[in-house]
C-alpha cells in the first residue's frame, strides 16, 4: 500500500497520527483566495516528487512508488479513481490566458493513471474511474472483480485528488463546508472540509508469505434520487453495504469495525446512520476519520481502505476525531478515542455525488472462507441502440452515412433534446443532454417496459460547459459568486447520474474517463460488474466546447469545425433473440512491442479474423495519426484482411467517444445486413459473410471491440 494524506506520507506516519488522534485540518496554503477567512482544508504539507507535473499526478506517483516498492513483477492493470486530474494547473493557465494546448496535456483525468502505468511498465488496461467521492473505492471494487474473474493477476488500484479552486469553491457554493472544520457525526456539525490525498493498493491473486489483508468483497449501488443529495433514508448506502457483505460471504455480526463515509454534512451523516442502523442489529464500533484528514474526494475511499487495512493488521480502531457531542438521532455513538483491539473484518463506506455508493469488506487473511464467485459467460446482446452526431439522431445519422458518408458536426441543444421533456432538461447543459437523449433513445429502441439495473458511461473530457462556466464566473465575480448548479453539473459522473435518476437504475453507476478509450473502458467495466440476469445501459458521449476542446484534446484542430455526440446501448446477457453481441476482447498499452501480436491472438488468430469479420472500423485519433496508421497497416499485413477497412473518425469527426458511435454503426450494419457504398463498392443488401464487425482503437492504446451476429 502507498498513502499520502494530510496526516503524512507512508503507513507509519498515518498509523502514528491515527493512534494520537491528530487532526490535520488547517489553513489553505496551496493557493491564495480572495477571502478574509478561507475555510480550513486538509492539505498535504510535504514536498512531492516530479515538480514539472500537476499536483494530482505528483501525489499519485508518490503513492505508487510506495505500493510497488517490494514488487518486481509487471502490473496487469492500473485502475484509478479521480475527479480533478490536472485541474489545479489548468486553473492557473486559464487565469494567465495561456492558449497553448501543449501546456494542458496533463489536464485530462486519464493522464494521471497513464502516468503511473508508464512509470510502472503496465502493459494491460488502464482504467480511470470518476464517480465523485466514491471513485477510489469503486476503483478497488472493479480491480477486485477483474482479479476474481481471472482477467488479471496484479492490479494497482486506488484514488487520488488534489485541492483546487473548482472543488474548494464548489462545495462552499453548496453551503456544505464547515467554516470551523469538519466535525463528522457531531450534533453541531455544519459540513465538510475539502482535502486532498492519495492511496494505492497493490492487489494480487498470488498468495504471498505475509499478505497484509484480504479484500473479501465490494458492493456498488446508486441512489437514483438526486444529483447531489443522498437518499434521506440511506437506501443506496444500505444496498451497497448488503452487496459487499454478500460478495464477501459474511454476516453483519462478523464485522468488528465500520469505517464510515462520515463527511460532516448534516444530511449525509444522518442518511448513513440510518442505513447502518437498518443493517446491524447490534452496531459494532465505528468512526469517520474525516475529522482528521478532511474529505479528499476521489481519494477518500482508497485512503480509508488503507486505514481499514491498518485496523486489521495493526489492531487499530481510529477515533471519530473532532466529534465533541455525538448526534443523539444516530442512536449509536462513534469512537471518541482510538482503541487497540483485535479486528478480523472491517466494512468501509464511500458515497458520492449522484448517489454513487461503494462499500468494501477488508479482513484478516484466511480468516473467512471465500465468498461466492459469479463468472459471466454469456456475452452482452444489443437489444437497443442509439447515437447522436452532427447529422442528427440515429435515423438521420445512418441515412447520412449511406447517402454521403460524412456525419461530423454538432447539433443545437434543441436538436439534441427532441426526445426529452423540456421540463426535465431545462437546467441541463450539453453533455448531460447528450447522455440523457442517448439513454432514452436506446431504451426506447429496446422495446422493453422494464428499466435498466445499471448505467455505465465513458466520457473523455466530461462536462466542459459547466466546468468552463463555473471557472469563468468564479473569476468574473472575484470568487464571490460561484455557481452551485454548474459545480454539481461539472462532475464527470453527473450525466450518468441523470440517466440513473430518469430510469431509477439503482445498480452500479460507473463513469470512466479514459480519453479516446473511454467508451471501451465503460464497456469493459460493465462486463466485470454485471450479473447474467441484469439489463444495463452503456453510453459513450463527449461535447464539443468552443474554448476548452481545442485546449484539452490534442486531436482537435482549431481550423476544423467542432464535432461531438455519442452512442448508447441497452444490453442484456439473457436475451434469447437474434440480436448482435458486443464485447471488448482486447485492451493494452501500445508501448508494448508485442502489442499487435497480442491483439491477433486475442481475436482468435488470422483465420478466425478473416472468417468472422467482414468489416474493420478503425479509430485513429488525429493526435496519433502516424502511430495509428502504422498499427493498422501491421494488422492488415499480418492478417491478410481483404474486406473494407474504414477510418471512422474521418466520417464522425474528432471527439473522444467516437468509438461508441462506431459500435452503434457496426450493430446497424449487421442488423440491416448492408454497408454504405462509400465503404468500397455499391451499396449491397444481404452481404455474404458479414458475420461480424471488428472495431479497433489505435494510438496510445490498442483496443478491440467485437460486434457479432449470434
3-state DSSP assignment of residue 663: helix
**What is the distance between the alpha carbons of residues 61 and 443, in angstroms, rounded to a whole number?**
41
Tell me phi and psi for residue 687, to 5 degrees.
-65, 125
Query: How far, CA to CA in Å, does 206 sit from each of 202, 214, 229, 344, 687?
Result: 11, 12, 41, 21, 48
Query: How far, CA to CA in Å, does 188 sit from each of 11, 182, 326, 351?
Result: 32, 10, 9, 21
Q: Which of 300, 305, 285 is nearest to 218 (CA)?
A: 305
Catalytic residue among 122, 133, 164, 603: 133
Classify residue 249 by burial, with Cβ atoms within 10 Å: 0-12, 13-18, 19+.
middle
DSSP classification of residue 451: P
Query: How far, CA to CA in Å, does 419 sit from each of 185, 408, 656?
Result: 44, 21, 24
CB 381 within 8 A of CB 577: yes
Residues near 658 by beta carbon (within 8 Å), at least 6 away in sequence = 516, 565, 619, 648, 649, 652
Long-range CB contact pairs, 104-109, < 8 A, 24+: 104/551, 104/552, 105/554, 106/53, 106/54, 106/57, 107/551, 107/552, 108/460, 108/461, 108/513, 108/515, 108/552, 109/82, 109/83, 109/84, 109/85, 109/462, 109/492, 109/513
Classify residue 478 by burial, with Cβ atoms within 10 Å: 0-12, 13-18, 19+.
exposed
Quick one: pLDDT at residue 585?
96
**What is the distance between the alpha carbons of residues 498 and 494, in angstroms, rounded to a whole number?**
6
Which secondary-structure segment (H or E) carries 139?
helix 135-148
**What is the distance between the alpha carbons of residues 220 and 240, in angstroms, rounded to a whole number?**
5
Quick one: pLDDT at residue 689?
58
Quick one: pLDDT at residue 684?
55
Quick one: pLDDT at residue 687?
52
CB 556 within 8 A of CB 548: no
| β partners of residue 345 | 363
CB 85 within 8 A of CB 56: yes
Quick one: pLDDT at residue 546?
97
Domains of the chain (ranges; CATH) run 2-363 (3.40.47.10), 380-708 (3.40.47.10)
**What is the distance between the alpha carbons of residues 164 and 91, in angstroms, rounded to a whole number?**
8
**What is the distance between the alpha carbons of residues 356 and 433, in angstroms, rounded to a whole number?**
20
Tell me phi and psi for residue 641, to 5 degrees.
-65, 130
In the annotation, is 393 catalytic? no
Full DSSP string of 466-532: HHHHHHHHHHHTTTS---HHHHHHHSTTHHHHHHHHHHT--S-EEEE--GGGHHHHHHHHHHHH--T
Q: Which of 617, 699, 702 is nearest to 660 (CA)?
A: 617
Catalytic residue among 107, 231, 235, 295: 295
Low-confidence ranges of the chain (pLDDT < 50): 685-686, 688
Catalytic residue among 107, 261, 393, 492: 261
In the annotation, is 624 catalytic? no
DSSP classification of residue 85: T
3-state DSSP assignment of residue 306: helix
Quick one: pLDDT at residue 173?
95
**What is the distance between the alpha carbons of residues 127 and 113, in angstroms, rounded to a whole number?**
7
Please measure the distance between the N-terminal and C-terminal CA atoms of the chain and give it in whole angstroms: 44
**What is the distance between the alpha carbons of residues 573 and 359, in angstroms, rounded to a whole number?**
25
In the annotation, is 57 catalytic? no
Query: How far, CA to CA in Å, does 516 sit from each of 216, 607, 628, 654?
Result: 33, 29, 13, 10
Tell me phi and psi for residue 349, to 5 degrees.
-110, 145
Amino acid at each position: 500500500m502507498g498513502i499520502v494524506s494530510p496526516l503524512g506520507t507512508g503507513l507509519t506516519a498515518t498509523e502514528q497520527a491515527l493512534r494520537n488522534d491528530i487532526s490535520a485540518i488547517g489553513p489553505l496554503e496551496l493557493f491564495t483566495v480572495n477571502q478574509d477567512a478561507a475555510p480550513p482544508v486538509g492539505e498535504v504539507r510535504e514536498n512531492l516528487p516530479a515538480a514539472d507535473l500537476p499536483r494530482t499526478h505528483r501525489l499519485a506517483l508518490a503513492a505508487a512508488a510506495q505500493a510497488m516498492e517490494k514488487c518486481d513483477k509487471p502490473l496487469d492493470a492500473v485502475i484509478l479513481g479521480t475527479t480533478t486530474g490536472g485541474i489545479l494547473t489548468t486553473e492557473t493557465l486559464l487565469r494567465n490566458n495561456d492558449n497553448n494546448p501543449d501546456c494542458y496535456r496533463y489536464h485530462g483525468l486519464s493522464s494521471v493513471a497513464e502516468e503511473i502505468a508508464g512509470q510502472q511498465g503496465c502493459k494491460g488496461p488502464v482504467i480511470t474511474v470518476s464517480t465523485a467521492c466514491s471513485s477510489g473505492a469503486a476503483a478497488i471494487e472493479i480491480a477486485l472483480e477483474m482479479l476474481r474473474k481471472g482477467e488479471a493477476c496484479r492490479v494497482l488500484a486506488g484514488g487520488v485528488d488534489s485541492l483546487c479552486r473548482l472543488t474548494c469553491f464548489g462545495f462552499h457554493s453548496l453551503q456544505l463546508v464547515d467554516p470551523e472544520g469538519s466535525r463528522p457525526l457531531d450534533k453541531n456539525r455544519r459540513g465538510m472540509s475539502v482535502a486532498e490525498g492519495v492511496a494505492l493498493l497493490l492487489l494480487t491473486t498470488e498468495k504471498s508469505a505475509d499478505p497484509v489483508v484480504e479484500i473479501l468483497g465490494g458492493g456498488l449501488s446508486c441512489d437514483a434520487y438526486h444529483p447531489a443529495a443522498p437518499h434521506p433514508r440511506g437506501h443506496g448506502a444500505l444496498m451497497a453495504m448488503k452487496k459487499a457483505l454478500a460478495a464477501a460471504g459474511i454476516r453483519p455480526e462478523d464485522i468488528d469495525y465500520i469505517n464510515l463515509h462520515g463527511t460532516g454534512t448534516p444530511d449525509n451523516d444522518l442518511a448513513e446512520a440510518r442505513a447502518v442502523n437498518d443493517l446491524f442489529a447490534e452496531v459494532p464500533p465505528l468512526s469517520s476519520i474525516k475529522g482528521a484528514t478532511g474529505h479528499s474526494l476521489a481519494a477518500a475511499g482508497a485512503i480509508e481502505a488503507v486505514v481499514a487495512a491498518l485496523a486489521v493488521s495493526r489492531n487499530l480502531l481510529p477515533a471519530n476525531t473532532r466529534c465533541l457531542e455525538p448526534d443523539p438521532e444516530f442512536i449509536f455513538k462513534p469512537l471518541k478515542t482510538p482503541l487497540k483491539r483485535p479486528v478480523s473484518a472491517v466494512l468501509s463506506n464511500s458515497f458520492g455525488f449522484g448517489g454513487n455508493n461503494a462499500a468494501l469488506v477488508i479482513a484478516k487473511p484466511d480468516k473467512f472462507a471465500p465468498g461466492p464467485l459469479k463468472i459471466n459467460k454469456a456475452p452482452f446482446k444489443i437489444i437497443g441502440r442509439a447515437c447522436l452526431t452532427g447529422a442528427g439522431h440515429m435515423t438521420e445519422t445512418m441515412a447520412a452515412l449511406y447517402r454521403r458518408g460524412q456525419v461530423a458536426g454538432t447539433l443545437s441543444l434543441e436538436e439534441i433534446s427532441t426526445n426529452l421533456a423540456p421540463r426535465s432538461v431545462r437546467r441541463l447543459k450539453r453533455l448531460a443532454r447528450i447522455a440523457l437523449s442517448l439513454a432514452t433513445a436506446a431504451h426506447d429502441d429496446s422495446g422493453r417496459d422494464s428499466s435498466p439495473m445499471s448505467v455505465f458511461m465513458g466520457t473523455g473530457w466530461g462536462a466542459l460547459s459547466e466546468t468552463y462556466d463555473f471557472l469563468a464566473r468564479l473569476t468574473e465575480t472575484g470568487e464571490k459568486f460561484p455557481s452551485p448548479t454548474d459545480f454539481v453539473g461539472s462532475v464527470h459522473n453527473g450525466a450518468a447520474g441523470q440517466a440513473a435518476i430518469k430510469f431509477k437504475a439503482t445498480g452500479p453507476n460507473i463513469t470512466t474517463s479514459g480519453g479516446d478509450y473511454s467508451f471501451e473502458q465503460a464497456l469493459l467495466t460493465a462486463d466485470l460488474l454485471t450479473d447474467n440476469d441484469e439489463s444495463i445501459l452503456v453510453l459513450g458521449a463527449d461535447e464539443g466546447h468552443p474554448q476548452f476542446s481545442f485546449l484539452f484534446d490534442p486531436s482537435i484542430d482549431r481550423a476544423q469545425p467542432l464535432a461531438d455526440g455519442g452512442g448508447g446501448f441497452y444490453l442484456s446477457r439473457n436475451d434469447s433473440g437474434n440480436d448482435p453481441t458486443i464485447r471488448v476482447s482486447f485492451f493494452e498499452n501500445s508501448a508494448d512491442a508485442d502489442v499487435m501480436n497480442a491483439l491477433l491472438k486475442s481475436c482468435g488468430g488470422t483465420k478466425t479474423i478473416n472468417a468472422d469479420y467482414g468489416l474493420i472500423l478503425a479509430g485513429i485519433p488525429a493526435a496519433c495519426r502516424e502511430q495509428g496508421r502504422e498499427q493498422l497497416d501491421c494488422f492488415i499485413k499480418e492478417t491478410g484482411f481483404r474486406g473494407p477497412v474504414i477510418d471512422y473518425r474521418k466520417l464522425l469527426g474528432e471527439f473522444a467517444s467516437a468509438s461508441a458511435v462506431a459500435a452503434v454503426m457496426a450493430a446497424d450494419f449487421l442488423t440491416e445486413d448492408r454497408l454504405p457504398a462509400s465503404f468500397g463498392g455499391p451499396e449491397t443488401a444481404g452481404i455474404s459473410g458479414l458475420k461480424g464487425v471488428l472495431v479497433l482503437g489505435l494510438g496510445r492504446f490498442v483496443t478491440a471491440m467485437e460486434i457479432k451476429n449470434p
